[in-house]
Structure 1
Amino acid sequence: MNTVVITGCTVADGRVADGASPVEDAGILVRDDRIAAVGTRQEILAEVADRTDVDRVDLGGAYVTPGLVNMHTHLSLSLPGAGGDQVKDLNPHELALYMADGARRTLDCGVTTVRCVAEKDHADFALRRAIEAGRVPGPRMFTAGRALVCTGGHGHEGTDTLECDGVDGFRRGTRAQLKAGADLIKVMISGGIAGQHESIDTPQLFADEMAAVIETAHAWGRRVTAHAGPAAVIAQAVELGLDCVEHGYQLTPEVAARMAARGTALVPTLLVTRCKGFFDELGVPEWMQCRSLGAGPAHLDSFATAVAAGVEVLLGSDMPPFWSFEGTNATVRELEHMAEVIGPARALHAATLGPARWLRAEADIGTVEPGRYADLIAMDENPLAAASAYRGVHWVMKGGRVVRTGPPTSGRKTP
């Protein structure tokens, strides 16, 4: 049994948002891939005092939190423009390698779990198996397979979506993703930023089609998340039992209150309406940039409305998690935007324990507790003082194995 003792750190996790205190001068005992004990340095060292087969890690006063969970990830993202066209032109073998490289970079940034919400050609399932088998470094993956859209609906142009129509069509589409191994289902119920022949508030599914997806997924024990912008469409889906909203560009207080009452979470992806540099880098066309950046003020107001109503908000970047952006990586930049509204303690919850609970994986990830996977990251600044502390992540452990140590990185772009 591989045993590691980690000392020289302060331990904090998402429970601080509910009043728990960080553990100062802490120690963490890791056996194989899971945390065996957490306590003071003296307590943990006493447990292994007479052992010589223990690896010892002194983090020199760093702050340790669980690895980040990015709940809106596309490792095969291809937006309109020259950069996206390069990804669309990859053959299946190239695509798999491209996504594997993105997974490695994502883990390198301290994101130890991702929720993929539309990936091309079901390559995500092969990547998930490769990561689980240890053949490829990467985060833990929860994936929706291909997102479900109506004919001509949002994202229909790519192989990361599946066009369906009518109740029977959407039931079949849902079951097709479940057959492939989907952990959740993603459905596009409105227009969005990247569809040239639609608007953000274009309704795209009828109520019976939405119900077909939600009922079928729930019958199989899977949750459903929806790409959605306008309040009226979101309200309808929430009443049908939707579990999560992606983006939520145009929420109203009434709809946000209903989301909170029904337990529907929000992944706001604030970056997508404030990332001109990213768009320029990829050669995203002017029409999309105007639509995206023009939606920014209302998007931020919508997020604040959801927070005020008590909606559970979760971290998700939409941009590739590792992408170098504004001096850090996309995951951290998204968390910084969220923290401006919810504060750093709640941001830590939104990046760790909140996602773990939505994924029904809180017994395995999301906190620094015995029994959880040893998915840990370290930084020199206090993340409970400012979310910008995550810019300084310099040590990453996944499943009890140190996968990166060294100076902070700002993330790396794709080639």
Structure 2
Amino acid sequence: MNAAAHAEPPGIVLTGCTVVDGRVLDGVGPLPGAAVWVRGERIAAVGPAAEVLAAAEAAGEFRRVDLAGAYVTPGLVNMHTHLSLSLPGQGGDAVKGMGAHELALYMADGARRTLLCGVTTVRCVAEKDHADFALRRAITSGRVTGPRIFTAGRALVCTGGHGHEGTDTLECDGVDGFRRGVRSQVRAGADLIKVMISGGIAGEHEAIHTRQLFGDELAAVIETAHAWGRKVTAHAGPAPVIAEAVGLGLDCVEHGYQLTPEVAALMAERGTALVPTLLVTRCKEFFDELGVPEWMQRRSLGAGPRHLESYAMALAAGVEVLLGSDMPPFWGFEGTNASVRELEHMSGAGLGPARALYAGTLGPIRWLGAEADLGSVEPGKFADLIAMDGDPLADTSAFRGVRWVMAGGRIVRDDRAGMEAA
């Protein structure tokens, strides 16, 4: 949460902790017996407890918080978030039927729950009615509790394309139409552009492999977005469509249900990231809860084995993979929340705990271009931190035990102190 008015003066020193972050892949190991000094919204110092405490004491008054042996990491970053998600079925229909005011409150509640579960930054990749921009302003100003938001605004689709039924997409056609679509989202304040270039699991009259943009349209999206300094991510399933997009300069693939080794190698060569969203093809419990129709459940769950094979191909090729749940980040699922469950799937399917920590924290922040402020536990960066009792380098499931959350220097969750939890 980026709100200076909510930071806790005159400073906080976190002790009794081991600090670890995604820089472990760069050779920066865990720091046991550590302390983290937070002043205002940002980290002032990190190091051995005695040294940090001495520096804080020399600077004046501060409050000490003993984390009782916890592991401290940066907050998680969920790169595939829809706070206004409305899948086919009764649950989705209820969201679609909300008026503007009810939708805003619904999304604000989701943002609060997202932050409390330890996700301190999200990348929204299609939200209804541009309500995400209002929500971001409210969080930034301190009126609403929630994660930092990077957003694509409305996703761009062809007429009748994937997701065209909702107000979270914008129908475009032709080169000029897609150029205008990109510019309209930039005008609204988009940090990136999302485009649907193939069918998916939630479109009744399409298949996962259905091509939905022609080459000149796709080139127009990428060229225009890059001219405005915005990266492009694409909802995409089939290998031939992904290969064409990557060749044109696509920055990120969402899902990638049907990759081939050749296309994965091309992605790795060009630096195109993958947000695999493994949950979406293995979440029957979630679908049942929302009343998702049988046709969609069959398509989704049936795609699961091939989806996992694609993910393995991406890992083997060295593609950068990043955490993204597609399900609401905070959603209770299989004994934890959707963000952690997705990270567990990624880790267990070949990524491993250390790379999973990176994929859930520093990797996404680097893709977002926000590394100067976020993504690691270093002096000068925003104090967006979480604490848990287990070691996330030993087992990714340690994130199930998040019990303390700080956002922008403000403690928003502390289970031991009885503060609210997600």
d(CA) in 2 for partners of 1:77, 1:353: 26
User: Which position in structure 2 is the counterpart of 1:387?
Assistant: 396
Cα distance in 2 for partners of 1:250, 1:372 equals 38
With structure 2 as the length reference, what TM-score do the two structures score? Answer: 0.96
1:323 corresponds in structure 2 to 331
| Deviation (angstroms), 1:46 | 1.0
Measure the CA separation in 1 of the matches of 2:67 and 2:327. 31
Secondary structure at the residue paired with 2:57?
Answer: coil
Give the residue type in structure 1 aligned to 2:354.
A
* Corresponding position of 2:291: 283
Matching of residues 7-406 of structure 1 within 5 Å: 7-50=15-58, 53-340=61-348, 341-406=350-415
- Give the ranges of 4+ consecutive aligned residues of structure 1 lying more than 3 Å apart after TM superposition: none
Task: Determine the C-alpha separation between the residues in 2 that align with 1:87 and 1:387.
Answer: 32
* Counterpart position of 2:4: none
Cα distance in 1 for partners of 2:56, 2:285 equals: 50
* C-alpha distance after superposition, 1:372-396 (max 9, x if no partner): 1000000000000011000000000
**Mapped partners of 1:51, 1:203: distance in 2:** 61
- Cα distance per residue 1:341-391 (max 9 Å; x no partner): 100000000001100000000011100011110000000000000110000
Taking only aligned residues, the RMSD between alpha carbons, in angstroms, comes to 1.4
Question: Structure 1 residue 52: deviation in Å?
Answer: 5.6
Deviation digits for residues 280-329 of structure 1, max 9, x if unmatched?
A: 00000000000000000000110010011000000000000000000000
How far is the alpha carbon of 1:45 from its aligned partner? Answer: 0.8
Deviation of 1:241 (Å): 0.3
Amino acid at match of 2:15: T
After TM superposition, the structure 1 stretch with the greater mean CA deviation from structure 2, 116-125 or 27-36, is 27-36
Q: Runs of 5+ in structure 2 lacking a partner?
A: 1-8
C-alpha distance in 1, partners of 2:221/2:60? 55
Deviates more, 1:60-69 or 1:10-19: 10-19
> What are the superposed Cα offsets for residues 112-135 of structure 1, whole Å, 9 maximum, x if unpaired?
000000000000000000000000
Q: CA deviation at 1:19?
A: 2.4
| Partner Cα distance (2:312, 2:50) in 1 | 43
For residues 297 and 339 of structure 2, what CA distance do their matches in structure 1 show? 21
1:17 Cα shift?
A: 2.1
Find the residue that maps to 1:394 and give its secondary structure.
Answer: strand
The secondary structure found in structure 1 opposite 2:199 is coil
User: Could you tell me how far apart the structure 2 residues matched to 1:177 and 1:319 are?
Assistant: 23
Per-residue deviation at 1:18?
2.7
Unaligned runs of 5+ in 1: none
Supply the distance in 1 between the matched residues of 2:205 and 2:221 (Cα, whole angstroms). 24
Measure, in 2, the Cα distance between the counterparts of 1:43 and 1:61: 18
Aligned partner letter, 1:233: V
Deviation by residue 1:48-78 (Cα, 9 ceiling, x = unmatched): 2356620111100000000000000000000
Q: Match of 2:232, SS?
A: strand
Aligned with 1:287: secondary structure? helix
Letter in 2 for 1:406: D
Alpha-carbon separation, structure 1, partners of 2:351 and 2:25: 10
Deviation at 1:2, TM superposition (A): 3.0
Once the two structures are TM-superposed, the CA of residue 20 in structure 1 deviates from its matched residue by 1.8
**Matched pairs, number:** 412
> 2-side partners of 1:296 and 1:55: how far apart?
49
- 1:87 is paired with a residue whose SS is helix
**Equivalent position of 2:3 in the other structure:** none
Displacement after TM superposition at 1:158 (Å): 0.2
Q: CA deviation at 1:36?
A: 1.0
Residue type matched to 2:415 in 1?
G
The 2-side partners of 1:103 and 1:125 are apart by 13
